[in-house]
Structure 1
Amino acid sequence: MHAGSAAAEDHSAVQDSHARTRERVARAILENGPSTAAKLGDRLGLTPAAIRRHLDALLADGVIEAREERVYGQRGRGRPAKVFVLTDAGRDEFEQAYDDLAVGALQFLADTGGDELVTAFARQRVADLEKRYRPLVEAAAPGERTAALAAALTGDGYAASAAQSPVTDGDQLCQHHCPVAHVAEQFPQLCEAETEVFARLLGTHVQRIATIAHGDDVCTTHVPRSTGEPGPHTEDSAERIS
């Protein structure tokens, strides 16, 4: 083999390795929500220099963007930490299940049958989720049902997590990925029907406080909890709150 060919193959292998690592970084942001460079490096076992290099590449490609970290309660001294979130283009890299046909079909329903028909379609769409999730949620202990629902959602690609709310007596159910986010931008009935299912499964009134469809980083649902009821036992829960 000529030296030039060997060098080209080595360069190609390095590029492939970098591409796979960048995909791991983007997926870590997708699954865990807004993340600092330090936490991403810890999760993926990358040095500060390496994680910065991959983050710079993802920023240049428009896959991620940098924002100031949200701070709950009283803010300490100094500037808020910088966190990295996926852009719409970055989410598209993870095979979001929407297209112009879906939007067109729902618009046709709205034009011919009104919003009530769109709502009926949205409720029918999530009926299967409710049927499949109910045994899993009801089998969990009362304090673990939000976590059980999060696990079921994760199995369907929603990259969900459950944690104690940082500001209220309750839990937060976070979905870091939404396969129909772009469709839901125009048809919020999809989000509303999903929220109704969560309330029925958890047996309590829940409140959707953020959605990816409306430009938030994570779909976040507040689940009130009875006094004294333990919260979900999830690792790194504070990191997963939107």
Structure 2
Amino acid sequence: MISEELDLSTREKIMLMLKTSGELSIKAITEELAITGMAVRRHLSALERDELIASSTVRLPMGRPAAVYRLTEKADDFFPKKYHTVALELLSELEGDSSEIQVNHLFDLRQASLEKRYKAELHGKQLEDKVAALTALQHRNGYMATWRKHGDHEYELTEYNCPIYQVARTYNHACTCELQLFEALLEAEVTRTECLASAGQKCVYRIRAAAP
């Protein structure tokens, strides 16, 4: 049985059951959760609508064919991931085996790779259009980014989330590389006024055209 100590909704319990069992029928889910079949069907219908589960029909040794349910690829994002833990362990091993310089070099290589990948999308644009395009790129990458014009010749780019927050909090050179990346892509003067990895509520960048 699923532990009652876990404060999970019925739908979360169903997803956890499917994660551990692979495929289950309505009968199996009903018996495990000790609720009505009608209630189970209602939750399964909602999960199917959200594309978190899918069903197929299987033949049983006795009786009519029955529907079984399984998780979809989309459901994978529902379950916790500890990627940052693995990343930090690997970086710590590299730092111990070589030095912090080598760790920083990895972030430098990442910066160069991102600059090469994104430069074509910003090339030839005016600064305001570059800020908008960069914001869109960051938003697609999970940074929850927005921008606004700040005065006549200044812009503000804000990131409300940092996908590499745990890593950046330990290795602040990651933040330095992001600042340098923005400067290179925007070809502008960029100043960070707030940083999530340094106890801020968000990352805020002030952007202005570079001096001639």
- Residue identity (%): 24
Give the Cα–Cα distance (whole angstroms) in 2 for the partners of residues 139 and 94 of structure 1: 42
Give the Cα–Cα distance (whole angstroms) in 1 for the partners of residues 120 and 80 of structure 2: 29
Answer whether contact 1:96 1:179 (CA < 8 A) is retained. no
Shift of 1:154: 2.1
Which SS does the other structure have where 1:174 is aligned? strand
Shift of 1:199: 0.6
Quick check: 1:215 aligned with 2:199?
A: yes
The match for 1:104 is 89
The match for 1:79 is none
Report matched runs for 1:22-37 at 5 Å. none
Query: Normalising by structure 2, what TM-score?
Result: 0.58
The match for 1:82 is none
1:160 alignment partner, one of 142, 145, 153: 145
Give the Cα–Cα distance (whole angstroms) in 2 for the partners of residues 189 and 203 of structure 1: 20
Quick check: 1:129 aligned with 2:114?
A: yes
Shift of 1:155: 2.7
Which SS does the other structure have where 2:188 is aligned? coil
2:135 alignment partner, one of 122, 131, 150: 150
1:191 alignment partner, one of 148, 158, 175: 175
The match for 2:184 is 200
Give the Cα–Cα distance (whole angstroms) in 1 for the partners of residues 188 and 124 of structure 2: 16
Give the Cα–Cα distance (whole angstroms) in 1 for the partners of residues 79 and 136 of structure 2: 19
The match for 1:171 is 155
Seen in structure 2, the aligned counterparts of structure 1 residues 150 and 95 have a Cα distance that, compared at 3 Å, is farther
Quick check: 1:116 aligned with 2:98?
A: no
Where do 5+ consecutive residues of structure 1 fail to align?
21-91, 228-242
Answer whether contact 1:210 1:219 (CA < 8 A) is retained. yes
Answer whether contact 2:190 2:207 (CA < 8 A) is retained. yes
Count of residue pairs the alignment pairs up: 150
Quick check: which has more Rg, 1 or 2?
2
Give the Cα–Cα distance (whole angstroms) in 2 for the partners of residues 114 and 102 of structure 1: 16
Structure with the greater relative contact order (CA < 8 A, sep ≥ 6): 1 or 2? Answer: 1
The match for 1:8 is 39
Shift of 1:112: 3.4
Report matched runs for 1:39-50 at 5 Å. none
Q: Which amino acid aligns with 2:125?
A: A
Which SS does the other structure have where 1:205 is aligned? strand
Shift of 1:190: 0.8
Q: Which amino acid aligns with 2:118?
A: Y
Question: Can you list the C-alpha shifts for 1:100-125, whole angstroms capped at 9, x where unaligned?
Answer: 22112212233333332122110111
Query: Normalising by structure 1, what TM-score?
Result: 0.52
